[in-house]
Chains A and B, each alone.
Chain A
Amino acid sequence: MVANRSTAEPAFAVRRPKTRAIYLRKRYLLPFGVSVAVALAGVIAMLTSGTIALPFRSITVVRAMMASKIVYFQDPEVRRILMSHGVDVQVTDSGGSRQLIRDRQDRVHEFDFVMPSGQASAELIHERFGGRAYYPFASPLVLGAFREYAEALVRAGAAVKQDDEKGLGLYYTLKLDVFVNELSLPGNGAPTKTWAQVDPRVDNRNQVVAQTPNPCDSYSGSAWLGLVAFAANNSVPPNERSAPEVAERIKPVFEIEGLHGSGIGTSFFHPDGRTSAPVGVMYEHQYIAHQFTAVARTGAADTDRVLLYPDAHHRTEPRLIAFSPAGELVGDLVRDDPGLRRRALELGFRLDNKEPTALPHLLRERGLPEPALSSTEGLLPRPDNLEAMIREVGDCPEIRVPI
């Protein structure tokens, strides 16, 4: 008997699984979501910083040469803002602004722009090479000093402490006439007194002098020489006739120091600054930048280092001289970009041309007093006379004016 077997296949109802896309599953979604969130945060950060576009934008490399203003273009924040505009400024240190116009003048045309630290050097370059000049900021020429040295000058009648509402006593006014004609050049062939002779509380047997970078090479050194000559010449800038005589008279002031250091504006702020540069010629911005950093790091100003503002003052104007469209692009940005202007202030520069009160505002904002600047200008000799004096005092190679 044959069993009637059913040969029918069992019927399975194939139910479609309730599918969820693999990327919607929890096991997947959680790590992926976190990754995306992190990546998005990064992208947003790059968007806001301007770096996102970098891989897709051609970066313009801009070559520049300058001296002390190199601190501005080496500042990470300045570099970042410039980079967000597609600009990478590669800076070569000239050693001193005046080296731009002497030893390195053959090379000036290799650069998109140069930035001498002051107007006198800038004018010489502009005359010789043309280019478009920008005046983005300014900074007075000052003496930085450790407190006891400034007090010694007060004692000698060569300085007066400025009152400030915070009582920090960071600023003094230097009586340039007394400093030059009584302390530096006592007359009758007498040697300049030592700091310890001026004030026994100062443990320093070196002669009183404001250390400067070499006047042959640097703007600050040459401008200080101009101010000393102005003071030594009865507050009149020496003219063609008197320049040689005045130069000879002030030469000893610049020989006291012997070999000039190049970086007074940086070594003064080193921990051993009191050893190597207790009193030195520098720019106000170098000091103010140091104080901003001190306040940010420690919550308080550095009251050990002070500034002396000469009563015959010289306001230096670093000039950006552009020789190419790329250089002009940087000039436009430095002059107009609000972020770059803000950063210049934070680095201690003044924006006198457009916002004369911007630096005082920022000082107040950071809890620092505002210095009083003299309204009397110390007049520098005409460029050709100044050159003749620098040559006599510094025994340096000639810069013919006009170059």
Chain B
Amino acid sequence: MRLPVLLLVAAAVLGGCTTGTPEPAALTVLASSELADLEPLLADLRRDTGVELKLDRRGTIRAAEELAAGGADHDLAWLSTNRYLALKGVDLPLSTPTMLSPLVLGVKAGKAGALRGASWADVASRAAAGELRFGMADPRVSGSGMAALIGVATAAAGTGAALRPEDVTCDKLQGFLTGQAFGASGAAEVGDEYVRRQDDVDAVVAYESTVLSLNASGRLREPLEVVYPKDGIVLSDYPLMLLKPDKRAAYDRAVEWLRSPSAQRAIMERTSRRPVDPQVQRTEELREPIGTALYFPGTQEVLNSLLAAYDRAGEQGRVVFVLDHSTSMAGLRIAGLREAFATLGRAGGFDRFRVGETVVLVRFAGTVMEERSIVVRQAADLEVLAGALASAELADDGTAIWSALDHAYRIVGDGTVVLMTDGENNAGMSADEFLGKWPDPPARTYAIRFGEADPVELDRVARATGGRVVDATTGSLLEAVKEIRGCR
């Protein structure tokens, strides 16, 4: 008779033993600044698991520096990516990706037409001409800003491989950076700043989640269209990282909750980040295919070069082109030269002449025939540059390469010199006289040779300045000019 009672008691005791409520735990988290938008979800996490995540937010780059220097005393880190940490040689902690968001261009619907399906090169080309003004977070602090620099520079190098230090010796970022109308300390702040300045700027370079959230916020007078640069994507996967191994149990609970289908859905709906769980049905706007990710640079050195280029943004650039116009240039050669200038003025991608740049044209044959300086202040000036050589005449009084270069050195200021010639020097100064006069050359000099130009002499002079010779005898002149654009 008493058996059922006993059984009931035993079952209750056993049941009580096996289902324990988890201990409440509070963890400090060094987090990327944009994760402020997760705060409401963290309340649910706490309710369901007893784990409270206290976010201490700052830019991803700053946070990675702090972690690498051993200055952070947090239990966990939750950054847009752990790559910056890896580049600093830190032994990566246990990391679990929680959500995804690609870096994109959010551009006003009215301006988006020309940029639909665009590449980073198209974006840079428009920015260089002053036709596209955007906001972008500061890459010295923010992961989204750094991802933008990496995306643009990798696409500009065009090798299809990760950037190596030798790929970034010439600065291909200035055209793109010409378009930066404002900076901000983080991915979320760039969105807020865009709202304040939306009447003056056209676009924002930010995470897809930032752009979609701005559209949903009701704070924009004109919605933004998302452009996924077709020459490559930088994707953030927001790993939750365990810094203190003794917090493992609470970390596991938080990860399990964050990766559950319901949390993944909530993340997607509230923050417009893509779920990592393939089973969670994505919203229509997040089903957009995002193309191929760019390979990520393998050294910190590359990132440092990109930051140095960023710091140069806004500096007035000056280039002196010393252009052979002797009669041997007639035909295909002069046509190639004119085409190169037309392209760099109108649609040169990363290498387009840009607003803020001063381009000096020194045309020569037996003597200097013309010196013309064009300061690019707006798109119309680029059109002038594009046509500057269209009707320039050739002369048959010889080829005075070194005298023309001597002229260029006297007007170069702090710029660089690009010399293009197809002949041997047969007038004016000799190479020895020239080098004797300029033992300490005032400007780095790049020479583009084609036809009969003497490679040895050109090389001797170019090397003396720290520059080099590019051979255009086999390829196109435009490609040769592009090769040295941005070399300083």
Counting CB contacts under 8 A, is A206 at the interface?
yes
Complex CA–CA separation, A25 to B1 (angstroms): 13
> Is there contact, CB below 8 Å, between B14 and A43?
yes
Number of A-B contacts (CB under 8 A): 129
Task: Determine how close the nearest CB of chain B comes to the CB of A144; give it in whole angstroms.
Answer: 15
Q: Which one, B18, B94, B100, B289, contacts A55 given CB within 8 A?
A: B18
A186-223 interface bits toward B, Cβ cutoff 8 Å, 1 = contact, 0 = none: 00000110100000000111110000000000000000
Q: Which residues in chain A, 365-381, are within 8 Å of chain B measured between CB atoms?
A: none
Task: Determine how close the nearest CB of chain A comes to the CB of B345; give it in whole angstroms.
Answer: 26
Complex CA–CA separation, A129 to B138 (angstroms): 49
Task: Determine how close the nearest CB of chain B comes to the CB of A281; give it in whole angstroms.
Answer: 15
Complex CA–CA separation, A326 to B97 (angstroms): 32
CB neighbours (8 Å) of B237 from chain A are: 267, 276
CB neighbours (8 Å) of B100 from chain A are: 270, 272
> Is there contact, CB below 8 Å, between A276 and B235?
yes
Task: Determine how close the nearest CB of chain B comes to the CB of A30; give it in whole angstroms.
Answer: 13
Complex CA–CA separation, A289 to B451 (angstroms): 62
Q: Which residues in chain B, 235-292, are within 8 Å of chain A measured between CB atoms?
A: 235, 237, 245, 248, 274-276, 278-279, 282, 289-292
Interface residue tally on B, bucketed by range? 35 or more
Identify which of A33-41, A159-167, A226-234 touches chain B.
Answer: A33-41
CB neighbours (8 Å) of A21 from chain B are: 1
B411-445 interface bits toward A, Cβ cutoff 8 Å, 1 = contact, 0 = none: 00000000000000000000000000000000000
Interface residue tally on A, bucketed by range? 35 or more
Q: Which residues in chain B, 78-113, are within 8 Å of chain A measured between CB atoms?
A: 83, 86-87, 91-92, 94-95, 97, 100, 102
Task: Given A35-B8, A204-B292, A272-B290, verify A46-B14 contact (CB < 8 Å).
Answer: yes
Counting CB contacts under 8 A, is B10 at the interface?
yes
Given contacts A42-B14, A92-B245, A207-B161, 17 further A-B contacts (CB under 8 A): A36-B8, A39-B11, A46-B18, A55-B17, A95-B94, A191-B160, A192-B161, A203-B292, A206-B232, A207-B160, A255-B164, A257-B295, A258-B297, A259-B298, A266-B97, A275-B102, A276-B237
22 contacts between A and B (CB under 8 A): A33-B4, A35-B8, A43-B7, A43-B10, A52-B14, A90-B248, A99-B91, A203-B291, A205-B231, A206-B232, A257-B298, A258-B161, A258-B297, A259-B87, A259-B297, A263-B97, A271-B278, A272-B100, A274-B292, A275-B235, A276-B237, A278-B292
Q: Which residues of B line the A interface, CB within 8 A?
A: 1, 4-5, 7-8, 10-15, 17-18, 83, 86-87, 91-92, 94-95, 97, 100, 102, 158-164, 231-233, 235, 237, 245, 248, 274-276, 278-279, 282, 289-298
The 10 A-B pairs of least Cβ separation, nearest first, read A258-B162, A39-B11, A258-B298, A207-B160, A55-B17, A256-B161, A194-B160, A259-B296, A204-B292, A258-B295
